[in-house]
Structure 1
Amino acid sequence: MSDIAIVGAGISGLHLALRLQQAGVTTTVYAERSSEDLAAGRPLSLPVRFGKTRDRERELGVSYWEGGDDDTLGVRLVARGEPGIEFLGRLDAPASGVDLRLYLPTLTAEYLERGGRVVVLRPDASEIDRISRDHDLVVVASGRAATTGLFPRDPERSPYTSPQRVLTAGLFHGIAPVDPGHIHFQVSEAGEIFSTRILTADGPVHGMVVEGLPGGALEQLASYDHLEDPAGFEKTLLSLVAEYAPDLRERINDREFGIRRPGDVIQGGLTPVVRRSWAALDSGRIALALGDAWIVNDPLAGQGANLGSRIAFELAELIVAGGPFDEAFAERVAERLWRIAEPVVAWSNLNVAPPVEHVGGIFVTATADQRVADAFVANFNHPADMWEAVKSPDATRAWLDKITEAG
């Protein structure tokens, strides 16, 4: 029976560990932090898990957040200008936002309860080589620089060399909920602002993400010291929301608005990248890249955690089929997993590229036609279908014709 090391205890690493556990494969998860430290620390990210990811959670037996305050039923997209764009599309299955400081410790506890093993360790490349000597295969699911150095950037699949958005995200009180619950997404010349309901250990709050274009007005938030001057940070944020997302500003109660707790803000920027998907270690073992160790997508399309979960399930199937876990195996894995990841990466990269006319045409049509709005939003749960719909003007015309003729 195989013995697999999984370095990283994020969504992709834990979904892989739980899936292999179901198949009777021995695993050890090497986590950078204990669950207690994670729960008490700063937020990691604010992922929305779409319907297919939630289906996988049900398969894993970890669907703890069903039909609650975190359910998201649609996406509202607003862009002021001529022509104005505004539509609310329905998802084909409810999505969910759960604070990772609640989500990850819960899954880790379940993995341990089922007999899994967790070692708290922050390994670098040399430590991964040492770990590999105790296992048949190492899967690296941690996006830390010390571990991703094993997997060089793939320039043919990585068109960007710098962040395309400057990110500020946080958890806030004082934003009125919407009915039905949905992601509010506002597009402007300065970037994008979106918000959604997030379930935390203290109950539901709102997550807000500001994705500023480099050099634009929204960029300033990413360098504002929210710990030193939280009131000033909140005032600046409200001012920018009023200018660039006025619909969202109307839902904010000034007296109640504020950061959920000190430090509940994320700032910085992510460079979209695809890295080489495996490495041969000095030990003679193979290390496979998973999650952020392999692919980093800008969060604008909301696909990072969802792709990580999808790839984890696919990788589990390949591992269960058996070794030897050699270079030939690694190449088979790379080919199969890239077929899944490629359209998701392409769509995510399109989201941060300059606007293209045919995608704008979808938004204009969706504003006037609920069928198109629903079909577009449903594809957040089907990213390969989304890419097929937006990859070219001809593809978009064919997709729109199919939607409107079917109705």
Structure 2
Amino acid sequence: MPDIAIVGAGISGLHLALRLQQAGVTTTLYAERTAEEVAAGRPLSLPVRFGRTRQRERELGVTHWDGAENDTQGVNLVGPAGSGIGFYGALDAPASGVDLRFYLPRLTADYRERGGRVEVLRPEAAEIDRVSRDHDLVVVASGRTASTGLFPRDPDRSPYDEPQRVLTAGLFHGIAPTDPGWIHFQVTEAGEIFSTRILTADGPVHGMVVEALPGGPLEQLASYDHLEDPAGFEKTLLGLVADHAPELRERISDGEFAIRRPGDVIQGGLTPVVRRGWTTLPSGRVALALGDAWVVNDPLTGQGANLGSACAFELAELIAADGPFDTAFAERAAERLWRIAEPVVAWSNLNIGPPPEHLGEIFAAASADRRVADAFVTNFNHPAAMWQAIRSPEAARSWLEEVTKAG
């Protein structure tokens, strides 16, 4: 039976570790920080886990947050003022948002309780090479390894060399819930604004993500010192939401709106990138890239955690069934994983580029026909189907005809 090192204890690394554990494969999980440090730290991201990821969690036996009170049933998309675009679409399976500082320590505990071994490791090239000598294969699922050069950028799959959005995200009190629970998805000429319910260790709050086009009015949030002047940051954010997402603003209480706790804000930008999927370490062992070590997408389509989970399950199946873990295995694994990642990368890159006319046509059709709205929103849970629907004007027309004919 093989012995696998997994470097990185995010969703990708933990889902892989738990899945291999179920298959009887020996693993060691190397985390950058202890679970206690993760729980007490700054927010990592605000992922929404769609239905297929939640099904994988059920298969892993980590359904700690199942329950209607934690479900997100759909997406409410609102276009720019005067566009006539606005619709609610239902998902085919409920989604869920859980603070990673709550989620990751719980899954780490599950892994430990089932006999898994966790060690703290700095994700540096020399350290990864060192631990590789004690294992048959290394899977690197830590985005912090990007600076090591282990997995260089793949230029053929990475059309951008700088962030296409300037991001501000945070957890907030004072946003009224909806019934049914939904993701508010505001499209504006200055960028996008999202909000949805996020469960934290202290109970439910709302997460908000502002995706600002560089140079636009929403960009100022990313440089505002929210620790030095939280009241000023909250006032500025409320003003921008009022201007660009008035429907969301109506759900916010002036007297209750506040950052959940000091530091619960993320600011910056992500450069979308696909890196090489594997490398041979000085030890002679193969290292595979997974999760943020391999693919980083802009969070606009909400697929990061979901893609990481899907790839973790696929890789677990390959590891449990295949070997030896040489370069031929690495090439097969990289090819199989790219089949899953390619439509997600293409969809994300299309959305953060100049607005395609045919996507606007889908939004307009969804605003007039609930069947189209539901079919479009359901595809957030089926990214390969989403890409097939929006990849070209011809594909969009064919998809719309199919949806409306289906009745």
When the two chains are superposed, the root-mean-square deviation of aligned CA atoms in Å is: 0.9
Q: Which has the larger displacement, 359-368 or 65-74? A: 65-74
Q: Which has the larger displacement, 334-343 or 63-72? A: 63-72
Aligned residue runs from structure 1 range 41-56, under 5 A: 41-56=41-56
- Tell me, in whole angstroms, the C-alpha distance in 2 between the residues paired with 1:315 and 1:2: 14
Q: CA 1:68/1:199 → structure 2, altered by over 3 Å: closer, same or farther? A: farther
In structure 2, the residue matched to 1:282 is: 282
1:352 maps to 2:352:
yes
Q: Is the 8 A contact 1:123 1:146 kept in 2?
A: no
Deviations 1:90-131 (A, max 9, x none): 000000000000000000000000000000121300111111
- Tell me, in whole angstroms, the C-alpha distance in 2 between the residues paired with 1:385 and 1:321: 28
In structure 2, the residue matched to 1:21 is: 21
Q: Which has the larger displacement, 278-287 or 65-74? A: 65-74
1:5 maps to 2:5:
yes
> What one-letter code is carried by the residue in structure 2 that aligns with 1:207?
G
- Tell me, in whole angstroms, the C-alpha distance in 1 between the residues paired with 2:107 and 2:332: 29
Runs of 4 or more consecutive aligned structure 1 residues displaced over 3 Å after TM superposition: 145-148
Q: Is the 8 A contact 1:147 1:293 kept in 2?
A: no
- Tell me, in whole angstroms, the C-alpha distance in 1 between the residues paired with 2:43 and 2:346: 27
1:133 maps to 2:146:
no
Q: Is the 8 A contact 1:137 1:286 kept in 2?
A: yes
Percent same amino acid among aligned pairs?
A: 80
Q: 1:148: Cα distance to partner?
A: 5.2
Q: 1:342: Cα distance to partner?
A: 0.4
Pairs aligned (count): 407
In structure 1, the residue matched to 2:378 is: 378
Aligned residue runs from structure 1 range 4-403, under 5 A: 4-145=4-145, 149-403=149-403
Deviations 1:170-193 (A, max 9, x none): 000000001110000111111000
SS at match of 1:359: helix
- Tell me, in whole angstroms, the C-alpha distance in 2 between the residues paired with 1:278 and 1:346: 21
Q: Is the 8 A contact 1:8 1:142 kept in 2?
A: yes
- Tell me, in whole angstroms, the C-alpha distance in 2 between the residues paired with 1:339 and 1:255: 49
Q: Is the 8 A contact 2:146 2:293 kept in 1?
A: no
Q: 1:82: Cα distance to partner?
A: 4.3
Deviations 1:189-209 (A, max 9, x none): 110001000000000000000
> What one-letter code is carried by the residue in structure 1 that aligns with 2:325?
F
Q: 1:81: Cα distance to partner?
A: 3.9
SS at match of 1:233: helix
Q: TM-score, normalised by structure 1?
A: 0.99
> What one-letter code is carried by the residue in structure 1 that aligns with 2:238?
L
- Tell me, in whole angstroms, the C-alpha distance in 2 between the residues paired with 1:182 and 1:13: 28
In structure 2, runs of 5+ residues without a counterpart are none
Q: 1:68: Cα distance to partner?
A: 4.1
- Tell me, in whole angstroms, the C-alpha distance in 2 between the residues paired with 1:125 and 1:146: 10
Q: TM-score, normalised by structure 2?
A: 0.99
> What one-letter code is carried by the residue in structure 2 that aligns with 1:196?
T
